[in-house]
Amino acid sequence: MAFLFRKNTFTSSGKRLTGFPRYAEVLERNIKKFLIVNLLTLASFLPFICGVALAILSSSVLVLIPSCIIGGIFAGPALSCMYDAIMRSLRDAPGKFFSNYKLAWKQNWRQSLLPGILFCLLLGFYIFMAMLFFWSLLFPGWGTLALYLFGLLLFTMFFSICWPQIALFQQPFRQCASNCLLFILRFFLKTAGASLLQIVYWIVIVLFLPWSVLLLPFTGFWLILYTANFLLYNTLNNSFQIEEQIASAFPEQIPFYEDDETWLKRKQEETNESNNTDC
């Protein structure tokens, strides 16, 4: 991953790049921010992880439910801030990271509590069910396994569209859920593809435990969420008019683009003006 830390080598044409050059350009520019917010998000998931681990060790759903509720209270706001950082990066929003992170926490913590609790409850039950399959002396059956995986896919699809809305808009959760369902129905294959990518990523992490834990501070949440949201961003933007609404409400967040020649000319003019002022 050394290439992520080198300086941006892409030439600017005065507009956004597309495809992999755009993916790498945004990544190079925001890698440090992603690593920091990833550590903060990992820390917020510790209550959930510890609670689910305790529920599995005790084989108790009664332990699982309150653990997931408490875990969701911590994980929800942090996850919304993770999505806020990713969406700001994808739309090239200006501003300092810590200022934006504190603002996102202040704006989103209240409306992210219910989604956070629901997210952790469902995720906790899916993890618990996976352990029941693992402990079972008999194979659960292909139909049961297919139903389990399809439910996991729908769960991932729903929250892949839910969390960006929580990070971007102030709206009731009912409206957010309705938007998620409509978006999934209209763009099912694209949403399913991005969600499958996330599921495969986390399955690989689980399969290589405990060694994969060493990667979590470096890849953790940010890498797969950035990749999935990069794949969905244009569709999300066209459907929800993300950049149009934000530009209307917050003109200061409109990104500024210029090609290399214009940038060099502007810098030369600024240097000349500075020299004239000194004289």
* pLDDT for the residue 120: 96
The dihedral through the CA atoms of 72, 75, 78, 84 has a sign that is negative
Q: Distance between CA 264 and CA 279 in Å, rounded?
A: 23
* pLDDT for the residue 141: 83
* pLDDT for the residue 2: 43
| 3-state class (DSSP) for residue 67 | helix
Please give the chain's pLDDT, 279 residues, in tens.
Answer: 444 444 444 445 556 778 899 999 999 999 999 999 999 999 999 999 999 999 999 988 999 999 999 999 999 999 999 999 999 999 888 888 888 899 889 989 999 999 999 999 999 999 999 998 888 878 888 888 999 999 999 999 999 999 999 999 889 999 999 999 999 999 999 999 999 999 999 999 999 988 989 999 999 899 999 999 999 999 999 999 888 888 776 666 666 555 545 544 554 655 556 555 655
* pLDDT for the residue 276: 59
Cα pseudo-dihedral 30, 32, 38, 43, rounded to 10: -150
User: How many CB atoms are located within 10 Å of the residue 183 CB?
Assistant: 23
Q: Distance between CA 34 and CA 6 in Å, rounded?
A: 15
| Bridge partners of residue 259, in order along the sequence | 13
Tokens linked to 144: 């049961």
Tokens linked to 18: 């597309």
Q: Distance between CA 156 and CA 121 in Å, rounded?
A: 13
| 3-state class (DSSP) for residue 259 | strand
* pLDDT for the residue 279: 55
Which residue spans within the chain are E strands per DSSP? none
The dihedral through the CA atoms of 15, 20, 25, 26 has a sign that is positive
Q: How many residues comprise the chain?
A: 279
